Amino acid sequence: MKDKEGSTLVSLNGKWISHTHTVLAYLGFIGALIVGLNLHFYKIVKNEHYGYPQEWFPSVSATIGDRYPERSVFQICIALTSGPRFLLVVLWYYLTARPGASLPKFVAFTGVARTLLCGGWVYITSTDDHDWHDIFMISYLVLTLPWTLGCLATSPVNAKAIKYRKILATLFFGTLVPLIYFFIQHKVHKVAGAYTIYAFFEWSLILYDVGFDAVTALDFEGFELHLVDTKGFHKGTTQLADVYADDAKKTKQPLAQEFTGAFSWAALIDTASDVYLGFAFWSILTALGVVVWYFPLWHMGISGYEIAILATISPYLLVNRSVRKFVFLNIHIVYSASLLTLVAFFFVTPEIRLFLTTTGLFFACLAWAANFSLESTTSRIDIKTSAFSLGLIMSSVAKFSNHTNNPIWPLMNSVNGGWNKIGLVLAVLAIARTHFRRPIAPAVDTTMYSGKDGSQYLASIGFGGLLFGLHSLLSDSSTMITWVWDGYPVKGPLAVPHGAYTIIAMGAGFLIGILRQEFATSPAFYVIGCIGAAFLQSFNGWWGYYGALALAVYLMAITPSFIQMCARYPPGATFGTGFMVYNLLVLAHVWVVAYAFVPGGFLLRERTWLVMTIMMALIGVGLSVIIGTKAGGPTSKSQNNYSSIRKPSRSYFVYSLAFLELLAVSIAYLRFPHLDYKPYHEKEKLVTAGIWTVHFALDNDMWSSERRMRDLIKEMELDVVGLLESDLQRIIMGNRDMTQFLAEDLGMYADFGPGPNKHTWGAALLSKFPIVNSTHHLLPSPVGELAPAILATLDMYGTMVDVLVFHSGQEEDVEDRRLQSEGISKLMGGSPRPLILLSYLVTKPKEGNYNTYVSKESRMRDIDSTDWDRWCEYILYRDLHRVGYARVSRSSITDTELQVGKFVIDGKQSSEIRVDEEDVPEGWRFPAQFNGDGVRGHHYHVFDEPR
């Protein structure tokens, strides 16, 4: 082709490239669908639960990857699409790139990555390698978010194209909601036909995804590859580019302007270092409660070690001018001292780990309070608050990936899932990067603080309430989900995948906090936060969770404003008082459930609603200071040489947030339960059931014990197990949930309840059999601790069998235990089905309340009425064929043994004849490895062998 100057050029029109890409992509999917429907209809519509006629339309994966030749049709078309696809990404970059702008580079990188990942799930089908196919697929879908948002953010001024992009993007992301709903209906509830509906939504995603990229044809008109740019889009040199630049300058979005800056790897590393230090702080803060809890747990009361919680009020030291000067001049040393918590895992002795954790937290709180104050005299205060907030989100994501255990806690190690050494090395590097690169800052005197209006102590109160809310509700993505969980059938969110929703809500709150501080600190938004807290406290299921999400958004949104408010005042009294208020709320949070073991416990007994109300009221007090002093953002102050330090653009924090959110979504996908669980002895119709009091998943040496518990449960071949002392969703237990790891690793359904807002020490049920229905109960407890119970109906080989998991009250509360025995007896007597009781009864065999549990009213039988050496754990049953009973020593996992019973679902009644083990079928026998000395400290004990 000849240009105007007569030069010979080869040009390729961008609109033609876009059309080619669209046609080939649609042809690949539609062609595979047509071929598949014609050749393998019945095979590709069939799934693991149903086939035709219940399911009558295939999913995308089944169509493009399961059968020849449709798989080949699809792969050939996608191969042809790859060329135009790469050209489309390149053209889009050149269309949107402007001098110094970093966002177009990021969008181009995302586009290339998505194209390569597409090749991964296209050419590695689900039949080739299901795991890698899923990894490539979910990664592709995850990158769709930054690609879509990036294209919208960099779109040229073309009203028609922008309109279509917004419509298609909205349809794409809006479709994900019903897509996930019907997938859960299929996978969890096994609803016939649900997968067909899911398939239609899945196919619509393809239409919207390809259609979104097809809109580029509207922008590529007149845009030619390599040599000819007929309308002057390139490099921002034309009138249209000038219009776009003017539009960017006029925008009211401050963050949008920051995206126009040049990309810097150094700034990205600086941001990652800041965020990781925020993660380290939250890891250290959340570690203290569970480390302290170990000691009163073993003392069954106040141990004296509780004084360690006062480590958080170390900012009070900043009241002293000499201390303040030293800390400001040596902030990197104080940060380094906080890493003592991260080295605690090297020591086995619990007291040493407690000391190191406490000392590390002492310096961590001191360092962050000083740094907030120090940065308040510069323009970097928003950077520190962003790092603080993203550190919490990163902590939540880390726990989400590690089944609610933070991998760098001092109760973790290389054996039980810890990543302590890696975490420590990264923390050292982050401190080195963040602090040793800075010039020395002068000591800041109180005369430099601008907070003269309002009360610093009211500001402190607000900060304390906020910090408690962030820790108690948002330090784990599943905490608020357990608040609203009320059993089977599922009527609300699940820890997986909906924990990712909590993290997404936290991210939304973070963005509101840095972009719309005026709205975040408005009275109207505070009302929304209060309504969310009320819904969380008052409702189960989805309505309660909607309130939880609203509260998560609100707490994260006000975080930067509250920290900046406190940074305006002298740091010692302000942050010291804030942490003291936080400590008082933590104690109240503990007292509501530990009332039987603490002085004055009756004042807060079962009053979580009161603690929640106080928290929101204190936040309201802090908000009044912000509103009264117009302190919704950073205050203009005198600058010093510290302000000359390079400040990363806030765009890098948005990149960090996007990475964390995408990671959370990926984890939710990869952790989604398979729900294809099988009992150990299906052929014999055998049920092996156990009861175990597991001491809050802390072993005798203060290590997290889930993996050790997993090993014994698996090797004992338990199909059903009741776990007591299992509610870990409190600050003092680390906001954990042991059932997540156990259920996923063992392949079992889990029921957790009643929830942490019901003030019990917890009961849980794990089952290889589907849980058809379950209800949660609180037994009468007028004086002592609340007694939880789960009554579940399980589908055991086609027979409905009830299982009741129950923990009665303390030995001292005689009347409580009598009332509870009557309540449980009524529950058992009212069940029309065969029943197994897995329980902690606190009674002697054939004495007292035992005769209420084993009675004509309950119709229950003792699994071994001749076993006289019992006090706590009992297995009772009725209308089942009992074939075995064993007691297994605990080793050092907990303080209570594991009791196990074997039953056969064959409609026969048990005899009272005891026989030798070799006289029963081999499939009925207990594992031989626990005979004699057993393994790992576990062996059959009391009567030294199974009966």
What percentage of the chain exceeds 70 in pLDDT? 88
pLDDT confidence of residue 443: 43
- Residue 488 phi/psi, 5-degree rounding, is -95, 155
Asked whether residue 242 carries a pLDDT value surpassing 80, the answer given is no
Q: For residues 152 and 169, what is the distance between their CA atoms, to the nearest angstrom?
A: 9
Q: For residues 498 and 491, what is the distance between their CA atoms, to the nearest angstrom?
A: 13
> What are the pLDDT digits (tens) for 712-746?
999 999 999 999 999 999 999 999 999 999 999 99
What percentage of the chain exceeds 90 in pLDDT? 55
> What are the pLDDT digits (tens) for 853-880?
999 999 999 999 999 989 899 999 999 9
pLDDT confidence of residue 262: 58
Asked whether residue 639 carries a pLDDT value surpassing 50, the answer given is no
Asked whether residue 908 carries a pLDDT value surpassing 80, the answer given is no
pLDDT confidence of residue 90: 79
> What are the pLDDT digits (tens) for 930-946?
999 999 999 999 998 99
Known catalytic residues are: 807
pLDDT confidence of residue 207: 83
Asked whether residue 238 carries a pLDDT value surpassing 70, the answer given is no
What CATH number was assigned to the domain covering residues 265-670?
Answer: 1.20.1250
- DSSP for 370-389, written as a single string: HHHHHHTTSTTHHHHHHHHH
3-state secondary structure of 439: coil
Mean pLDDT throughout 236-255? 44
Burial of 337 (0-12, 13-18, 19+ CB in 10 A): middle
Q: State the pLDDT confidence band at 643, using cuts at 50, 70 and 90.
A: very low
pLDDT confidence of residue 716: 97
Asked whether residue 641 carries a pLDDT value surpassing 60, the answer given is no
In terms of DSSP bridges, do strands 873-878 and 835-840 run parallel, antiparallel, or are they unpaired? antiparallel
**686-930 CATH, one of 3.40.50.300, 1.20.120.10, 3.60.10.10, 3.20.20.60:** 3.60.10.10
Tokens of 684: 């014999």
Q: For residues 763 and 754, what is the distance between their CA atoms, to the nearest angstrom?
A: 7
Taking each helix axis as running N to C, give the angle between helix 194-214 and helix 14-39, from 0 to 180 degrees, rounded to the nearest 10.
Answer: 160
Tokens of 845: 């065999």
pLDDT confidence of residue 146: 79
Tokens of 60: 């995308």
Most confident of 95-99, 112-116, 228-232, 838-842: 838-842
Mean pLDDT throughout 875-895? 94
pLDDT confidence of residue 887: 96
Mean pLDDT throughout 828-842? 95
Q: For residues 483 and 546, what is the distance between their CA atoms, to the nearest angstrom?
A: 12
Q: State the pLDDT confidence band at 534, using cuts at 50, 70 and 90.
A: very high
Q: Which of 189-203, 389-403, 774-788, 813-827 has the lowest mean pLDDT?
A: 189-203
> What are the pLDDT digits (tens) for 657-715?
988 998 998 898 888 887 889 999 999 999 999 999 999 999 999 999 999 999 999 99
Task: Report the chain's mean pLDDT, rounded to a whole number.
Answer: 85
Selected residue with higher pLDDT from 440 and 313: 313
pLDDT confidence of residue 437: 60
Asked whether residue 506 carries a pLDDT value surpassing 90, the answer given is yes
Residue 904: partners with Cβ closer than 8 Å, 6 or more residues away: 684, 685, 686, 687, 880, 881, 883, 924
CA distances from 476 to 75, 241, 277, 291 (A): 42, 46, 18, 17
Is pTM beyond 0.85? Reply is no
Q: State the pLDDT confidence band at 764, using cuts at 50, 70 and 90.
A: very high
pLDDT confidence of residue 697: 95
Residue of 592, 514, 599 lying closest to 559 (CA atoms): 514
pLDDT confidence of residue 82: 79
pLDDT confidence of residue 662: 86
Residues 168-199 as b or e (16 or more Cβ within 10 Å = b): bbeebeebeeebbebbbbbbbeebebbbbbbb
Biggest distance spanned by C-alpha atoms of the chain: 108
CA distances from 16 to 3, 206, 218, 932 (A): 19, 21, 11, 78
| Angle ∠(67,69,75) on CA atoms, nearest 5 | 90
> What are the pLDDT digits (tens) for 588-630?
999 999 888 888 888 899 999 999 999 999 999 999 999 887 6
pLDDT confidence of residue 448: 53
> What are the pLDDT digits (tens) for 190-221?
788 888 888 888 888 888 888 877 777 777 76
Q: For residues 709 and 890, what is the distance between their CA atoms, to the nearest angstrom?
A: 9
> What are the pLDDT digits (tens) for 23-73?
777 787 787 788 887 787 888 888 878 888 888 888 877 877 667 787 777
